[in-house]
């Protein structure tokens, strides 16, 4: 007995008709796109249906698929089948630079981000249409890192004590992925919403689960054809439920802040101290959106708190986890990093200024990201109209174009022994005359694109780098870390699609330092 035999005849016929129409639509659409892209070579299978074999391979291990393309087609564009159609990858310094410099009207990063995250379904259509919170991150948040640094550092201390077992006399082995997320969400929200909310277990769990759900649900939605996204998006989204949960915590805070602003003025709070946090900066910026009907609404502001948590928790947790794995795999690095840390903080104290002067730590963290922390495809744009590269390659409108990030970070003519982890790599480069700024962790270059590129570089990178440095500093001064003696070394990362994630099951051994 088959599934169709269980259905009434009319429904069975309708079902088959829908399937046939869907397959016909897919075939015709794929044929049209494929015809426009015949001049661009393909990695893997190129048939309308056989291409899904390569799409599945890309989903399982994107790094190997993209590496094959770079090897076969040096200094030119190639296409890779995905579940949603072809993804164009431009290979070689000249084409990569052309993509980096393209105007938003030609190659759009905002369209690419919306498509990657399926943001209108997984986050909010209003946040996606008017992302003014990005301006908050770029300006007031970044300007206040120094003023609020001591509070973030205080939260890091408290969060480590709550999440890493007390190992006074012997080694304790723990899986670190979940504790690191807990630490990052608390440290970040000390700046975003302050005490006591940043320590509320339900609020922290909300932001962690929201972050994971956005990534997972966006991936699931992308497996379906675009015309089904509105339907599938309603099923695989937690936006509304997350907002309801967020409002339970944020509504009282936001409403009280707005009330105090109206009654006393922003500069005349009874105690003289209007909270200097992300919520205040959001309110200030939203007031400049006079034409926006959402201006100042509690729901809109709460959604933007969720949005900034997605940006902060997801990427910072992964970067810090990779760095901790590199430290545990190379415990001999701890002492020179400690020596620098103690010398700098002894002179500058625990401050943002001190973090900037930690050049060896900066090099260690940047090398960690260069070595393994970037996915297979990055700096992704979507063509807004047919786009011609200088070599004559024409990419039709509506397609995703990106660069082979992992290969960019492993170019043999740029990086000596690129497959090796060399923690002093960028420290040595910065020692050369005129090279001090170029090789900082926070500075994007054509050969260093983990934070994106040019004017579209990640606006939150300054806070992220300072936060990661402060967390690594706490580990260095308070713990010895290593992997088990019989461990194979750095645990393999997960490369899926164009993305990368740290190993989810690796365990790190911690022992409380005994300072003589």
Ordered DSSP codes for 98-113: HHHH--TTTEEHHHHH
**CB contact burial 444-475 (16+ within 10 A = b; e otherwise):** beebbbbbbbeebbbbbbbbbbbbbbbbbbbb
**Which residue in this structure is represented by tokens 């277990």?**
201
Question: Tokens 């649900």 sit at which residue?
Answer: 217
Q: What is the dihedral of CA 352, 354, 360, 364, to 10 degrees?
A: -30
> What is the Cα–Cα distance from 298 to 84, expressed in whole angstroms?
36
Cβ(309)–Cβ(189) below 8 Å: yes
Asked whether the beta carbons of 359 and 340 are under 8 A apart, the reply is: yes
462/353 Cα distance (integer angstroms): 12
CB neighbour class for 325 (10 Å; exposed up to 12, middle 13-18, buried from 19): buried
Cα distances (Å, whole numbers) of residue 410 to 374, 414, 417, 421, 423: 11, 8, 8, 11, 15
Task: Give the strands of the sheet with 378-383, arranged side by side.
Answer: 77-82, 85-90, 400-403, 378-383, 107-108
Cis amide linkage into residue 430, ω under 30° from 0: no
Q: Is 458 annotated as a binding residue?
A: yes
The H-or-E segment that residue 175 falls in is strand 172-175
What is the spatial distance between Cα 212 and Cα 172, in angstroms, rounded to a whole number? 27
CA 146 from centroid of its chain's CA atoms: 23
Q: 404 with 89: CB under 8 angstroms? A: yes
Element (H, E) at 499: strand 499-501
Beta bridge partners of 174: 508
Q: How far apart are CA 503 and CA 454, in angstroms?
A: 30
Please give the annotated binding residues for heme, written as ranges: 458
Please give the annotated binding residues, written as ranges: 458
């Amino acid at each position: 007995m088959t599934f169709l035999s269980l259905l009434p005849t009319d429904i069975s016929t309708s079902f088959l008709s829908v399937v046939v129409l869907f397959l016909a639509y897919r075939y015709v659409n794929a044929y049209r796109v494929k015809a426009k892209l015949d001049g661009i070579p393909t990695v893997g299978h190129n048939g309308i249906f056989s291409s899904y074999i390569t799409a599945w391979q890309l989903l399982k291990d994107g790094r190997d698929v993209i590496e094959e393309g770079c090897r076969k087609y040096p200094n030119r564009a190639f296409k890779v089948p995905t579940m949603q159609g072809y993804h164009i990858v431009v290979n070689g310094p000249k084409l990569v630079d052309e993509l980096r410099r393209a105007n938003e009207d030609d190659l759009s990063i905002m369209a690419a981000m919306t498509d990657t995250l399926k943001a209108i379904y997984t986050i909010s259509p209003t946040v996606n249409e008017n992302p003014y919170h990005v301006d908050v991150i770029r300006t007031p948040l970044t300007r206040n890192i120094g003023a609020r640094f001591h509070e973030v550092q205080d939260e890091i201390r408290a969060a480590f004590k709550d999440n890493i077992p007390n190992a006074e006399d012997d080694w304790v082995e723990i899986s670190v992925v979940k504790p690191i997320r807990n630490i990052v969400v608390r440290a970040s929200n000390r700046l975003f919403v302050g005490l006591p909310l940043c320590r509320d277990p339900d609020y922290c769990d909300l932001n962690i689960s929201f972050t994971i759900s956005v990534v997972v649900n966006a991936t699931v939605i992308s497996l379906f054809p675009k015309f089904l996204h509105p339907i599938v998006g309603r099923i695989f989204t937690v936006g509304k439920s997350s907002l309801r949960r967020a409002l339970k915590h944020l509504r009282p805070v936001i409403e009280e802040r707005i009330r105090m602003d109206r009654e006393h003025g922003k500069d005349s709070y009874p105690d003289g101290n209007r909270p200097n946090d992300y919520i205040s900066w959001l309110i200030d910026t939203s007031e400049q959106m006079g034409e926006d009907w959402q201006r100042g609404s509690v729901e809109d502001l709460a959604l933007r708190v969720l949005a900034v948590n997605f940006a902060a928790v997801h990427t910072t947790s992964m970067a810090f986890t990779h760095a901790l794995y590199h430290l545990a795999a190379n415990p001999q690095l701890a002492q020179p990093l400690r020596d620098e840390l103690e010398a700098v903080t002894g002179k500058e104290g625990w401050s943002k200024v001190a973090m900037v002067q930690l050049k060896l730590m900066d090099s260690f963290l940047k090398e960690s990201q260069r070595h393994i922390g970037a996915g297979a495809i990055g700096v992704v744009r979507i063509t807004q109209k047919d786009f011609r590269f200088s070599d004559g390659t024409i990419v039709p409108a509506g397609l995703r174009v990106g660069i082979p990030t992992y290969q960019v970070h492993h170019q043999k003519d740029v990086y000596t022994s690129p497959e090796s982890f060399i923690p002093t790599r960028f420290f040595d480069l910065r020692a050369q005359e005129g090279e001090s700024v170029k090789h900082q962790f926070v500075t994007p270059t054509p050969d260093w694109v983990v934070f994106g590129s040019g004017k579209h570089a990640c606006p939150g990178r300054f806070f992220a780098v300072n936060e990661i440095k402060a967390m690594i500093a706490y580990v260095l001064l308070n713990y010895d870390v290593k992997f088990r003696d019989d461990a194979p070394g750095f645990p393999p990362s997960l490369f899926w699609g164009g993305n990368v994630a740290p190993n989810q099951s690796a365990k790190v051994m911690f022992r409380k330092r005994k300072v003589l």
